[in-house]
Structure 1
Amino acid sequence: MKTWIYGALATSLFASSHAYAAENGVNYDPAHSGAYLAAQKANDVATMKKVVADDLTQIRTLGFSRVKTFYSTYCTINGQQCVSIAELASARNMRLMLGVFEFPDHPDWTQSQISAAVDANFRYPGTVIAFVVGNEDMFDWQGNPQPAMQQRIVADMTTLRSKTNNKVVVTTAQRAPDWIRLVASDPQKVLQNVPVIGANIYPFWGGSPEKVNGRSVANDIQATVTGLAGKTAKPVIVTEEGWPSCGNNAGMKDMNIESEIDYFSTWKTRQQNFDSYYFAAYNSIESVDCHTQGDADKHFGLCAADGQTKDVRLMKCK
């Protein structure tokens, strides 16, 4: 059990790269499943719940006890019935970094996410180890700040801390370069309002090959985390990292299953003083193949979209 999750966040955590027993987990979104999406559209909450329950059982069987989500609750298309992922995770003795999705055009929907997150924390004590408010939305893809969204996220994090008596870590998941941008200019006081940095770190999207001089770049994440912690004066959780098995994106390298296998195997065994949540448990539902869906973003899963094994060398799913 990590003392900085349940108690004070000590900067001494980073005194030694080998002094901390890191806890790893995996990112999960049920929208990988065609059955889930069909049930959501049909307002069939029972089937939605079954899909999520079966997914969590599989994820647990694959060896993950910690899961990061993008939503705090999963609702039918009419919004009248919802699936509590905290309930299902609690039943499987799993721990959650519970996402709170920031709907850009529907702040009222976000408030429903906050209410569900608070309810989950009180109903299933110990299951929720952190709240993650927003994801890669404080800056646009060109690095331009989004002040209104930054302000919203800070306000929503403050609300969550208040409603949970400041007993659960509350942060946001943003790209590592965007945290550095906040060090340079932070008018909304984002850094002041997070006890720990949630960083999405992808050497792949930086155009790196998977190996440099025969060594997986997954080994370099420790240096990135140490640098980010030094610049922000905050501990760091890697909220997303991974490598795709497929893709035809211009400028990107090593979009193949061998590279994903190498990155993941290195991720599993490297020494680190930070928690990391692998992206992701499943391929996107759009990841049919590289000819019909060539975007690498759809192919980061450890398992295929239907829960089957992509390659037994990566992970034996089904």
Structure 2
Amino acid sequence: MQTWILKLLLGGCSCLALSCAASSAPLKIFPTDSVKAISYSGYRSGQGPGRAEPTEAQLSEDLKLLSRHWNTIRLYGSGPQSAAVLRVIDQEKLPLTVMLGAWLKAEVSNPACPWGGIHAEAELQKNRADNQTEVDQAIALAKAYPSLVTAISVGNEILVDWTDHKVPVDSVVAYVKRVKAAVKAPVTVADNYVPFQKGLDELVEHLDFITIHSYPIWEQKDIDGALAFAQQNYESVRQRHPQKPIAIGETGWATVTNGVGIPLALAHESAQDRYFKEMSAWSQNQGIPIFFFEAFDEDWKGGPDPQEPEKHWGLFTKDRRPKLAVKSLYPDLIP
């Protein structure tokens, strides 16, 4: 087993020096050998970005449910919902810590994005200002809840070739430096494994740890080859950056698809069940922090087709009912 941790996530930590990563023992990201982590968004039916927000009572219900099995959640932005989540965890003394996100919008156009990466210059200028504000908010929340915010992820999928919200690497480095100068929590950037596999040395040198995303199902892998594929993704980044700790910030398995992007034969609950169990076992056996994507189905995502896979990654349905993968953990919630 790899023994990873010098307290960089779940309980507050001060050991952030890069010299730690260069020592003979790898730097551990989390201060426990039993990291159970999941990505969380509180949106329910009829809610979504720019629409209705979940109430604090709804957030409390979700967080109490999740804290029965997980001890770390990932949030993607530092806006009102994240502030409310942290407030609820703090006020209700829930046994959860948070990898907080600073959501960065596009600062340049990306013609390589197949679904709309071209932005007017006026929009890009506004986005740059919004990104500054978002980083300020992440810093403020980390300072307000230092025992809960145990890592900060600057941006999400902003570097991969196909992103619709691309941010230049030099801008990302500047944001990372700014956050690191302001808070004690370790700082990362979360993205698809490919950019880190290729390099990004000028960014990685400033990170306390790397966060990668791996989705075998999006790359047309069936469940029999899924675990090995995710392991290969992780290992390729580890070999490229051997002195830097690595977390898997997203991986999961859709349970429904309309056949667009994910073949009909791949998306079903039994496959999600197997993938969740195999990835969880690998995480625990090797000490690799893995955030499973995601807690709940979100029907606001994608277009009007209710079968779009983007809506169906949750381990729970949008009505907070457990899918097969977690039914044994939540038998009281089975209808």
TM-score normalised to structure 2 length: 0.75
Q: Which moved more, 1:245-254 or 1:271-280?
A: 245-254
Matched, 1:130 2:151: yes
Matched, 1:152 2:171: yes
Which residue in the other structure is 2:80 paired with? 74
Which residue in the other structure is 1:114 paired with? 135
Q: Deviations over 1:52-86 (max 9, x none)?
A: 2222122113x1110001112326xxxxxx84322
CA 1:211–1:236: 2 relative to 1, 3 Å: same
Separation in structure 2 between the aligned mates of residue 85 and residue 251 of structure 1, nearest angstrom: 32
Separation in structure 1 between the aligned mates of residue 247 and residue 297 of structure 2, nearest angstrom: 23
Gaps of 5+ in 1: 76-81
CA 1:284–1:174: 2 relative to 1, 3 Å: same
Q: Deviations over 1:271-307 (max 9, x none)?
A: 223111000001122489xx94333222110001121
Which residue in the other structure is 1:237 paired with? 247
Which residue in the other structure is 1:175 paired with? 192
Task: Determine if contact 2:60/2:88 at 8 Å carries over to the other structure.
Answer: yes
CA 1:292–1:145: 2 relative to 1, 3 Å: closer
Which of 260, 268, 286 in structure 2 is aligned with 1:249?
A: 260
Gaps of 5+ in 2: 107-123
- How many residues align structurally? 288
Q: Deviations over 1:96-121 (max 9, x none)?
A: 00011002242333233222222222
Give the RMSD, CA atoms, in angstroms.
3.1
Which residue in the other structure is 2:274 paired with? 262
Matched, 1:306 2:319: yes
The amino acid that maps onto 1:235 is P
Task: Determine if contact 1:282/1:307 at 8 Å carries over to the other structure.
Answer: yes
Separation in structure 2 between the aligned mates of residue 137 and residue 94 of structure 1, nearest angstrom: 27
Separation in structure 1 between the aligned mates of residue 308 and residue 25 of structure 2, nearest angstrom: 38
CA 1:249–1:122: 2 relative to 1, 3 Å: same
Separation in structure 2 between the aligned mates of residue 21 and residue 223 of structure 1, nearest angstrom: 22
Q: Deviations over 1:17-63 (max 9, x none)?
A: xxx925130001123x136449x646xx7x633322222122113x1
1:278-289 paired onto structure 2 within 5 Å: 278-286=292-300
1:1-318 paired onto structure 2 within 5 Å: 2-3=5-6, 5=8, 6=13, 7-8=15-16, 9-11=20-22, 12-14=24-26, 21=33, 23-31=35-43, 33-34=44-45, 36-37=47-48, 41=51, 48-61=55-68, 63-74=69-80, 83-90=83-90, 91-104=93-106, 105=124, 106-141=127-162, 146=166, 148-164=167-183, 167-183=184-200, 189-212=202-225, 217-218=226-227, 221-233=230-242, 234-247=244-257, 248-250=259-261, 252=263, 254-270=266-282, 271-286=285-300, 292-311=305-324, 313=327, 316=330, 318=333
Separation in structure 1 between the aligned mates of residue 135 and residue 57 of structure 2, nearest angstrom: 24
- Runs in 1 of length 4+ with deviation above 6 angstroms? none
Task: Determine if contact 1:264/1:314 at 8 Å carries over to the other structure.
Answer: no
* Partner secondary structure for residue 168 of structure 2: helix
The amino acid that maps onto 1:51 is Q
TM-aligned CA deviation for residue 261 of structure 1: 0.8
The amino acid that maps onto 2:296 is Y
TM-score normalised to structure 1 length: 0.79
The amino acid that maps onto 1:272 is Q
Identity of aligned residues (%): 18
